[in-house]
Chain A
C-alpha cells in the first residue's frame, strides 16, 4: 500500500466561507451552439438566479480572448465559482480548470453544462426545445455550482518504470523510446520470441524492403 507523500486535509479546504459569486458563460461556439440555442437569452434568463453575479453569452469560451474575458471578470467581479455552458466537459473541462488556476481559483470551482453535444447538435431541428433544455442544464449547473468546494489533489509517488504488454513492432518501438529516454521497461510477450506479425513478413509496403 502506497501512502501519499503529502495529503493536505481536504476538509480544511472547505473553509472558504465566502458566499457564492457565480459567473455564468454561455458559449456560442461560433455557430455550433448559437445556431440552434439562444445563448444570450439563456444567459439573461439565469442572471437573476441566487448566487449568480454575472451571466453572459460568449463567442468562443475556450479561445484565448474568451478565457481572458472570464479571467478579467473573475478579478473585476470577485467571482468565486464559474459555470461554462459550452461543449462536453470531457473535451474542455481541463482547459477551463487551467483557466481557473491561472485566475487564482481552485480548479474544482468550475461546473460545465453541455450545450453542444447535448443540445444544439442533437436537436438541430427544434431550436425552441434545444433552448429550453439548454436553460434547464445551465440552471442545474448553477444549482450544483453553489455548493462546489475547492479540492486538493494528493501527491503520490511515481514509479519510473513502464510495462509494455506485447512485443510486436509497436511494443518494441514504445519500449525503445522509453528506454532510450532513461526509463526502465519491462516487456511481456506471450510467444517465445518478440517480433509479432512483422517478423513473419517478407517485404513490406510502402518501401518494399525487408521487415526484420
Chain B
C-alpha cells in the first residue's frame, strides 16, 4: 500500500469515482469526480488533533461499526493517503458559530470547509478494472438471526474483533457482555451455493477464511470450543489441506450440515439446531457466539462501469472475460483488463497473480507508441449519399458527420468507427459499404443457405460478441440442440439490414432469428437499440403484407448464456414446425408480387 502511495509514477485519487469514459484503446478519455476531503491531503500530518476536538461520534465503518470515530477522522491507522477526512453530512457545519472546533485545533491549518468536489479529465491508453468485492449482506435473509441477536457476527466483523488494531485490541469479546466466549460456531456458505438463499456460486474464500479463523482462535485460546457447520470444506489450493488438517488436529469440531434454526437463550447464548448429514440426527448446540461465513458478491458499481465501458457480465454478476481459459484477464473491449474479485471471488494470492497478468497485458499494448485500430469500418459512397443524416443519427460513436441542410454528404471518421455496421443497415440509399460484412457478402450467405431445402432450415443472425459467443458456450458445454439452425455472424445485430430478412423470406425461409447482446450490454454502446426498432418495423410490414410476424424473432443471448442459446434454438425449431409448406409458398408469392 505505502509503495503505491509513494511511487513517483502512481497518482492516487481517493474519494473518487469514474463518471465517464469515451474513446477506445490507446485513447480513452476519462472523467473522474473527486469528492472534497475538506482536509489538505498533502499538508495533513495525521496528528489527530482535529479528531480529538470533534464532538460528533459516529460508528466506524472500517471496524464494521464495532467502534466509533469522529466526523473528522483517519480511515484507519495505515491508510494511504494518511490524511484525515471530514464527512460533510456528519459535521455540525462549516458555521463557526455552531462548531468548527477542528479548524481551531489544526495548527497547520489544513482544514478547509470550502473545498469543493473536483472533476478531472485524463487520457489513458489502457484500463484495469479492479473494483473488488462486496461481502454478502446477511440482513436480507435473516435466517440465522443476524439482525436479532447481537452475538451473531459476520466473518468480516470477526476479523476486526481478532485484529490487534481493531476495536478490542485483538481480544475476542462477546458483544452482549464483553466477556471472552467459551464456545464459538462458524456457519459456512452464508449467501453462497444456494440460489434461493443468496447466490448459486461458491464464494471460494470463506472455507479457508474460517479454517484460518479457527487456527487463530486455537492459538490464542486453546480451550475454546470451536465448531464449524458446513456442506463440504473446499480446501483446494496450495497449502490449504495442511491448514485444514491442522485445524482438525487442534480439536476444531467440524459438523457436516448447515443450521436450520438459531435461537437466543436468556443468557445471550445461542442455540443452534443442525440436521447432522452424517448421522441423520437433529442435534442442538449451545454456543456463546456465532460467525457467519458470508459470501462474496460483485462491487455495487459493477453495472455502472459495465455500461460505461461496454463490458459484459456473467450470470453471477461478475465481469466476463474475453475467453475463460485463454484470455482470463482481458475484457472483450480492447484495452480493458480485469484484476481481482471484480472478475470472480478469489483469494489474495489469485488476485495478485491476476493483477500482474493484467498489468502485463496492458503493458503489451502500451509498449508501442502506436496501436493498430479497427480495420472493419464503414465507407460512404459520396455519389450515392443524399445527405439525409440517418447514418449520423444511428452511429453510437458520433463517427459520422453530415449536414442535411447544406446537403453535404456524410463522412466517416475512421479512427472513431468501431465497425458495428448499423449505418450501413439504416442507409435508405445503399450508400454505405460495411467493410468485411458487405451487403453482397451477407446476401450471398443467405442465398447459398436457402438455395435448396430451405423449408428445413433456420436462418439465424448472431452478433460476434454475445450471441455467437453464446453459441460457442453451448458448444463448449456440449449442449445438444436441433441441427437445422445456421448462423450468420455479424459484428453487431445492428448490421442486420431489413433487406437480408426480406431476401430470406422471399427465398423460402420458414423462420428467421436475429440475435444480439442484451440491451445495455451492446458491445457498440447502444447499437442494438436500432435493431429493436428495425425488427419492430419489419414485423409491422410483415403483418400488413399478410405474413405472420412471429416468423421473425429477436432474442438477446449473452456470451455466458449457452443454455439460453440452446433453448432459443429449440424454440425456433418448434416455431419452424408451425410454418406449413403452404404458408411459405404464400409468402414467396406475396413478396414476388410486391417486388
Residues of A within 8 A of B (CB): 1-5, 7, 10-11, 88-91, 108, 114, 116-119, 121-126, 129-130, 132-133, 136-137, 139-140, 142-144, 146-149, 151-208, 211-212
Q: Known contacts A133-B486, A155-B370: does B416 contact A88 (CB below 8 Å)?
A: no
- Contact residues in B for A197 (Cβ distance below 8 Å): 132-133, 135, 156
- The number of chain B residues with a CB under 8 A from chain A is 137
User: Which chain A residue lies CB-closest to B16?
Assistant: A188
Q: How many A-B residue pairs have CB under 8 A?
A: 381
Residues of B within 8 A of A157 (CB): 26-27, 369-371
* A209 CB, nearest partner CB in chain B, Å: 11
Can you name the residue of chain A whose Cβ is closest to the Cβ of B39?
A192
A88 to B472, Cβ gap below 8 A? yes
Q: In residues 1-20 of chain B, which contact A (Cβ within 8 Å)?
A: 1, 3-5, 7-18
CB distance from A164 to the nearest CB of B (A): 5
Q: If A118-B475, A162-B126, A183-B363 touch, does A191 touch B15 (CB 8 Å cutoff)? A: yes
Whether B440 is near chain A, meaning CB under 8 Å from some CB there, is yes
Provide the bound-state CA to CA distance between A152 and B373, in Å.
Answer: 9
Interface of B is mostly: mixed
CA–CA, A136 and B487, complex, Å:
10
**B489 is contacted by which of A89, A123, A153, A162 (Cβ under 8 Å)?**
A89
Q: Report the bound CA distance from A3 to B415 in whole Å.
A: 7
Determine the distance from Cα of A95 to Cα of B325 in the docked complex, in whole angstroms. 16
List 6 interface pairs A-B (beta carbons < 8 Å), by A numbering: A121-B476, A122-B483, A129-B484, A186-B124, A192-B79, A202-B166
Contact digits for B309-338, partner A, Cβ 8 Å, 1 yes 0 no = 000000000000001001000000000010
Chain A contacts of B342 at CB under 8 A?
166, 170
B464 is contacted by which of A90, A181, A205, A212 (Cβ under 8 Å)? A90
Which of these, B215, B363, B486, contacts A137 with CB under 8 Å?
Answer: B486
Chain B: minimal CB distance from A63 (Å): 16
Complex CA–CA separation, A125 to B468 (angstroms): 22
| B216 close to A (CB within 8 Å) | yes
Q: Given A152-B375, A185-B11, A160 and B305 touching (CB < 8 A)? A: no
Q: Which of B26, B76, B123 contacts A199 (CB under 8 A)? A: B76
Instruction: Out of A168, A179, A182, name the residue touching B351 (CB < 8 Å).
Output: A168
For A178, the chain B residues whose CB sits under 8 A away are 128, 359, 362-363, 366
Given contacts A117-B476, A154-B373, A154-B415, contact A189 B483 (CB under 8 A): no
Contact B414 A7 (CB under 8 A): yes
Also in contact, A190 and B480, with CB within 8 A (given A151-B375, A153-B375, A170-B132)? no
Q: In the assembly, what is the distance between CA of A132 and CA of B85, in Å?
A: 68
